[in-house]
Structure 1
Amino acid sequence: MLPQDIQQESQAFISWLSLFKLSRTVTSLADLDDGTVLFEVLSQVDEEYFRSPPRSQSSENWVIRFGQLKRLFRLITQYFVDVLHRQTAELEVPDLQAIAQNHDVVQTLVLCRLTIAISVQGKKNSEVIAGIQKLPQADQRAIMTAIEKVMSRFTELERRAGDATMTDDDHYYQMQLERSRALADKETLEKVYQQVLNEHRALQTNYDDILAEKEELTSSVRDMRRQMDDRRQDKSDGIMRAEIERLRTELQKTEENLGAAEIEAEKQASLVNDLTRRVEELQGKADEAARLKDQVDEYRHAAEKLHKTENVMEKYKKKLEESADLRRTVKGLEEQNATLVDKNAALEEENRKVAAYKPLMESYKTQISDLENKVSQRNKDIEGAKFELSQSQSRLRQVMEERAKDSEALELYQERVRELELAAVPRPRIRTTSTDDAVAAVSEPQTPAVPMTPGDDLDSTTRGLGGELDDALSGTTMTDLKLQIRALKRDLEAARAGGEEQSRILVLESLLEDSQRMKTRYEEDYLAAHREKLVLQAQLEEIRSGKAVGDGPEAAIALRQRLNETIDQLDTLRKEHAELQVKFETQSRDLTIAKSDLNLVNKDQLEILATLRESVNEDKAAMESEMGHLKIQITELKDKNKMQLEQVNTLLMEKVSLQNEGIGQREKMLERERHFGDLRASLGGKELPEEARAKFLALHEETVQLKEQLKTVQEKYQKARAFIKDQDKLFKEQNKSSGGPQATFEEAESHRSQMKIAEEELERYKRLLREAVQRYQQEQTLMLSIIQRHGMNVTRGHLKQPQRAAPSSWLGQQRKNIGQSLGSNIPPDACDPMKQRYCGGTWNSIRENLDYIQHMGFTAIWISPVNKNIEGVTAYGESYHGYWIEDISQLNSHFGTAQDLKTLSAELHARGMYLMVDLVVNNVVSVGTTEPNFSSFFFKDPSQYHPYCPINYKNQSSIEQCWMGDTKVALVDVNTEDEYVVAQYEGWVANFIQEYGIDGLRIDAAKHIRRDFWPGFCGAAGVFCIGEVYGPDIQLGASYQGPLESILNFPLYYGLVQAFGNPKATNMSALVSIISESQRTFGDTGLLGNFLENHDVPRWSGKYQDPQSL
C-alpha cells in the first residue's frame, strides 16, 4: 500500500470518528492505540453488545493497551459470528502488539476497517451511513474502499465454500474445524459458567446478608414494640411510631429486594443448568473429536509408513533401471569389442604389408644414429669453445685491470717528471740583440745582474736532486702520497658500504620498534580500562535511577554473590596492573640503555636518532600521564564500588524491613477486622452511642491513613524490587557478554562424550564420503572411456558412410511409430505447428494412450501447465502451449475439466505411474500493452507486480524483477517479495497438490524469481520440485539446487550438443570438463534432470545431420 493511500485513508477515518461524541478528540491514528475510542464508537452503534467500555484515560504502559485491544478484537470477531453470522476464517487479523507498542499505522487501519464494517451493518447503520455521506468525496471514497476490502473477504470465503467439492481431506478439515469450534464454544461456555457461578455465589452472599439484616431488623422491631408497650403512656410515643413506620418501610424494601434477589438466583440457577447441559453435550463432541484426532494420527502414521515404503520401492526401481542400463552398456561394450577385434585383424594385415619396408627403415635408422653422433661431437666442441672463450674473457679482464693500473702509474710518473722539470734551476741565457733581449728588458725589473758561475748552477741542481732522492728514500714522494690517498679512499668506501655501525643502528632501530609496540599495548590497556569505567558508570547510574528486575531474598543473595565476584575481578585487575607497571619499568630501562647506545653513533646519525628519542620521550610522558590518570580512575572506581555495595546493602535491608512492615500491617488489619466483627456482634441492632461513633470515625480515619502508608510502602517495595531485578539482569548480561561462568564438571563430561560421539560419526561420514568419491571416480572414468570410444566410432562411421542414411536409432523409430499411431485420428490440416493454435490435445486423450506410454517403459509423465490462459489470437498465435497464464486459481478449459484431470491422476496412480505438472509462477500475460488491467488476474493489486522494465540478462536483479516478452505479448512479472503474494502462492499450491493428486512440479523460469522464495513454496507443495534454469552456466545452476530439489541439466545438454550433435564436432574434452565441473559444483548430480530435447530447444533429429546421433 502506497504511503499516499495510507495517509488518505487515515485522514478519512479521523474525519469519520469526529462525527461521534467521544471522550477525547482524535487528531491522529496514534490516539487509537488503546482501543478506547473504537470501543466508544462500537458502543454507540450497538449498546447491548459493546457494554462497559474501558477507561477513557490513555495508559502509558503498552501492555495494558495491548490487553484492551485484545478484548476489543475478541468482541469484534464474536460480533461478526454471533450477530452478523459471518465466518471469520479469512478475516484480516491486525498486529495488536505493533499497534499498542509502536503505534503502527497500517495495523491500526486494519482495526479501523473492521470497526466501520460493523458500524455499517449494525443496528444504527442508517445513522452511520448518513454521517459518512456528510464527509468530503475523497474521504467517502477512502471509507468505501476500506469497507469493500473487508466485505470482499467474506464474499470470497462464501464463494469458495459454495464452489468447493467435499473430499475425504475436506471432510477431515471440516471435522477439525467443527472440533476447534466445539472446543472454542466449550471454553466460552466454561468461562460463562464460571462467571455465572461467581455471580450466583455473590448473589447468595448478598442473600445471606439480607437475611441477616432482616433478622436484625425483626429483632429491633420486636424490641421497639416491647418498649412501646412499656412506654405507652410516655410523651415520646409519636416519635416511636414514626420510627416504627420507618423501620416497617425499610423492612418492606428489604423483602422486595430479597424477592428480586431470589428471582435473579433462580434465573442464574436455570442458566447454570442450561450451560451445564451444553457443556455435557459439547463434552461428547469433544470426546468424539479427540477420538477422530487419534484416528487421524494413526492414519498419518500409516501414511508415513506407506511413504517410506514407496521411497524404498523407488530406490529398488532405480537400482533395477541402473542394472538394465548396465546390461545395455555391457552389450554395447561386447559389440565394440567385436569391432575392435576386426580392426585389430585389419591392423595386423597392414603390419604384414609394411614388413617389406623394413630394410629401408634399418638404413634410415643407421643414418639417423650417425647424424646423432655427429651432433653430439659438435656439441662437445661447442662446449669446449665456450669454456675457452670464458677463460679468455677472464684473462682479458685481468689484463684490462693491469693496464688501467699501469696507465694510472704512468700518469703519476709523467706528473712527477713535470714536477721535477719545474723544480730544476734554469740555465743562464746568452744576451743577444734579438727581440728576446728587448722583451726581457721590458718585462724584467731594472735590477743589477748577479753574476752566476757554472759552479752555482751545479750546486743548485745537486741540491734539487738530492732532496728528491731523500724524499724517494723516505717514501714521501707525491706519487706515494697519491697512491696512499687512493688506497684510503677505497678503504673509506668499503667502510661506508658495510660495517659495525650499520649493525649497531639496526639494533637501535629494533629497540625503537619494541618501544613503539609497548606504547601501542599501553594504549590498548588504557582503552580497555576506559571502557570498563564507562560500563561501571552506566551500572551506577542504573542503580541510582532504580531500574531493574529481580525478586525475593534469592535475588538478594545472587546480587551479593555477584558483588563478591566483582570484588574478585577488581583484585585480578589490580594484579594485572601491577604486572603491567613492572613491564613498563623494564621497558623504561631498555629505553635508557638505548639512549646510552645512541651516544656512540656518528654525529649525523645522532641527529636522526635525537628526533626519534624526542618522540619516544613525548610518548613516554604521555603514557606516564595516562598511567597516572588510570591510577586516579582506579581509585575513583574503588570508591564508587564501595558506594555501590553500601547502596545495594541498604536497599536489601530496606526491602527486608518493608516486607516485615507489610506483614505487620497485614496482621494489624486482620486484628482490627476481628475487633470490628466483635463490635458488630455485640452491638447487634442497637443504636450506637456517641463515644462508639467517635471511636469508629477515628478508627476509620486511622485505617485510611494506614492504607495510604501501605500504598506508599508498597510503591517503595515495588521500586526496590524492580531495582534489584534490574541489577540481577544487568549482572547476568555482563556475565553472558564476558563468557559466563564455566560449565560444571558434569556438563563438561557430557560435552566430551557428545564430542566423542560426533567425532566418531564424522569419521564414519568421512569414510563413506571417501568410498563414494572413489566409486564416483571409477564410474566417471568408465563413462568417459565409453564416451571416448563411442565418439571414435561415430567419427569412423562418418568417414566410412559419407552418404545420408535413414534414422536407425530406437528413439527415432519410436517417434515414427507414435506419430503414425496418434496421427491416424486427426485430420492432416488440424495440427499445423505454423498456425500456432490449439490442436485438440486433452487430458482424456493422454489417459486413453496410457497403455502405449506404459508399454514403452515410462513410469511418469510431464504435462503442460493446467492453469487458465489468455483467450484469443495474439501476434504469436494462441496460448496452445499453456504458458500464458491469466489466473492460476482456474483450469484451462481447452485441456479438460477438473474431473478429467483428477481422473488422469487416479489412472496414473492405479498403474504405479507418476504425474508431474508444469507450473508458471513468475508471471501472468498481458496482450498488446505494458499497463494491463489487473482485475482479470489472480492478484488484483498493482503493488503485487513489478513495474515494467526490459530485462538485462547480465544483471541478476534485472532478471528477477523485470518483464519477459515484449509489447505484443508482455509477461507481467509477479512481485514475489510481497508477503501477501507469498502466502497466497503457498496456500494455493498446497490445495492444488492435494486436490488433484500431483506427484511433482516442473517450475518454469525458476531463475527469474529470488532464491529464498522457493523453500517455502516447495515446502508448502510437499512434492518433488525441479526448476528450469536456462543456460550453460554450471555455477548459476548449482546455486538453485539448494532452494529447489533439482534443476534441468542444461549444461550437460550443451556439452552433448558440442560433442555429438554435429558430425563435424570431435571435441570430446568439452563434455569431459562439463561432467567433471558438474560433479564438483552440484550437491547431488543424481537428482539433475538430464534430457536430449524438450519444448525449449530444437528437435535433435531435425537440427543435426547425423542419423546415429540419436
Structure 2
Amino acid sequence: MSTLNSVDRVELCDSLLTWIQTFGLEAPCRTVDDLTSGIVMAQALQKIDIVYFTDNWISRIKPEVGDNWRLKISNLKKVLKGILDYNQEVLQQQINDFTLPDINLIGEHSDAAELGRMLQLILGCAVNCEQKQEYIQTIMMLEESVQHVVMTAIQELMSKECPVMGGNDSYADIDRQLKKTVEDLNEALATKEEIAQRCHELDMQAFHVQEQRDRLRLEYIELEERVAALQEERGSLLAENQILMERLNQSDSIEDLNSPVGRRHLQLQTQLEQLQEETFRLEAAKDDYRIRCEELEKELTELRGQNEELTSLADEAQTLKDEMDVLRHSSDKVSKLEVMVESYKKKLEDLGDLRRQVKLLEEKNTLYMQNTVSLEEEVRKANTTRGQLESYKRQVVELQNKLSEESKKTDKMEFEYKRLKEKVDSLQKEKDRMRSERDSLKETIEELRFVEAQEGQLSTGMVPLDSNEGSDSLAAEIVTPEIREKLIRLQHENNMLKLAQEGSDNENIALLQSLLEDANSRKNELETENRLVNQRLIEGQSQVEELQRSLQEQGSKADDSIILKKKNDAHMEKLREVNSELQKKCAHIDDLEPKYTSSSQKVEELEEALKKKDEDMKQMEDRYKKYLEKAKSVIRTLDPKQNQGSAPEVQTLKNQLQERERMLHSLEKDYDKTKAQRDQEEKLIVSAWYNMGMALQKKAAEDRLASTGSGQSFLARQRQATSTRRSYPGYPGPQSATAR
C-alpha cells in the first residue's frame, strides 16, 4: 500500500467525504462547502466519543454562520483544538511531523486539500476510539477505491502518531502487549497463507470445470445440429420413398430386377436400410450424449454450489486481507514502539552519565562562583577608583575653563592698554593739529563770520545723520561666543568619549591619552586663533567708535567726509576680512565634526541666510555711500540763499536714515533668531552623539559580559551587569547633555 504522498489531496477529501456520510448526521454533508462551517465535523466527533465531546462542547460551535468566513474559522479552530486535545488526553497520543490543516484556507476559500487534512484527523480519532471495530467494519463496506484511499490515510496518520509514555513502570506491560500482538500477527499471517492457498486451488478447479463445461456444451450443440440434419434428410427420403411407392404402384412390377424400376427400387431399398442403420446409430449416440449431458448438468450444479462456497470464502479472504492490512499497520506501530523502547533504554543509560557530568559541572560552577566573587570585589574597587578619576577629570576641565577665561581677560586688558596708548598718541597729534588750525582759523575768522550761523545749523542737522550710523549693528553681527560655544561642545564631546572608553581594556588607555593630548593641542591652537579673532574684533569695535566720534565732531566739514568715507571703507574691509576668517574657522570646526553630517544641510541653509544678510549689509552700505555723496553735494552747493529750501531735503535724508536703522534692527533680530536656532540644533546634535556613544559603550560592555559570563550562573551574570552599570557614576542623561 502506497503512502499518502502519492495520493491526491483532493481525492483524499472526496473519499473522506464519502466516509463521513456513513455517520448519518443531521447536518448536510454532500459537498465541501457543507463541511467548511465545522458543524458536520463537530457532530461526527460527538458520535465518535459522546463522553468527551459533550453537548456543552457542541454548544460552543455556532450553528448559523452563513457566508461569514470569520465565524467559520472560529468554529474550525474549536474543532481542531478538540481533536488535538482528544488525541493527547484520551488516546494518549501525540501527532508529530504532521502538517496541521490551514483553517483560514478552509473557512475563507473552501480549500479541499486542507479540508482533507482536517477529515484525516477525524478519521484518526475514529479508528483509535473504543468503538473502532464498528468504524473499521464501516470502512470495509465502502467501495474498493475509497477503501484504498482511506486505509492509506490511516497508515500515514499512524506513522505520525507517538504514544505518550507514562514512565518506566509501563515498559513491562508494553512488552507483553507487543509480544501478544506479534504472536497474533504471526497466526493471522499463517491463516492468511493457508486461505490464500486454498483459494488458489479452488480457483484452479473452478477454471478446469468451467473449461470442461464449455467444451461439452459445444459438443452437445454440434450433435443437436447433426441430429436435426439427419432428421431432415430422413424426412426427405421418406417423402421420396412415398412418391416412389406411388409411382411403383402405377408402373410395372418392381420384382423385375432387370427393369429400371426394379433397379431403382433395389437401390433405394439399400439406401433406406443404410439410413435406418445410421438413424439407429445416431439415436443411440443421442441417448448417450443426453445421459452425458445430464451428468454434466449435475456436475455443473455441484460446481455452482462449490463456486458459491468459494465466493463466500473469497469474501472472507478479502475481509482477512483487510484485517491483515490493519495488523500490518499494528506491526509497523509495534516496530516503532520497540525502537522507542530501545531509545528510552539508551536514554536511561545516558542519564547516569549525565548525572555524573552534572556533579562535575556543579563542582566547576562552585569554583567559578568563588572566582566571580573575587572578580566582583576587584570590580568594586575599580569602580571606586574610577569615580575618583572622574572627579579629578571634572576638576581638570573646570580649571582649564577658568584658565581660558583668565587668558581671555588678560588678552582683553592688554588690548585695552594698547588701544588707550594709541588713543593718547592720537589725541596728542590731534592737539598739535588743532593748534595749527587755530592759528589759521584766527586769520579766516572774519571771512567766515557771515556764514557761521548757517554752518552751525548744517552741522546740527548732520549730527543725527552721523549719529545714526549702523556700525554698531554691523559689529553686533559678529558673534564671538559661537566659537567659544563650539569649543565647549568639542571639549564636552571629548569628555564623553573619554567616559565611554573608560570601560574598555587597559590597552586603549595609551591611545586615549595620545588622542587627548592631540585634542588639547588642537584646543590650544583654536584658543589662540580665537584670541587673535577677539583682538581683531576689539580693534574693529574701537575703530568704529573712533569713526562715530569723528563723525560727530567733524560731520559739518566736506573734506573730512571724504576722510570718513575712506576710514569707513577701510573699516568695512577689515570687517569683511574678520567675517571671512570667522567663516573659515567655522568651516574648519565643521570639518572636525564628521559625525554631524545629518545637520550639514541645515548649516548650509544658515550660511546662505548669513550670505543673504551680508548682501543686505552691502546694499545698505551702498545706500549709505549714496547718502554721503548726496550730503556732500548738498554741502558743496549750500549757500545762504538756499538755506531755507534745504530743510525738506535734510528731513528726507533723516527719514531715510531712520528707515535704514529700522531695517538694520529687523536684520539684527533675524540674525539673533537664526543664531538661537543654530545653537539649539548644535545642542541636539551633541546630545544625539552623546547618546549614541553611551549606547555603543553599553553594547560593548554587554558583549564583554556575555563572553566572560557564559559559564557562570544567572545570579553571577546579574551581579556583573549591575556592577558594570555602577561603573559609570558620571553618566548624565540627555537633558544634562543638552544643558551643557
TM range (shorter): under 0.3
Higher helix share: 2
Bigger relative contact order, structure 1 or 2, given CA contacts below 8 A and separation 6+? 2
Question: Structure 2 length normalisation: TM-score?
Answer: 0.25
Question: Structure 1 length normalisation: TM-score?
Answer: 0.17
Computing the radius of gyration from Cα coordinates, the structure with the larger value is: 2
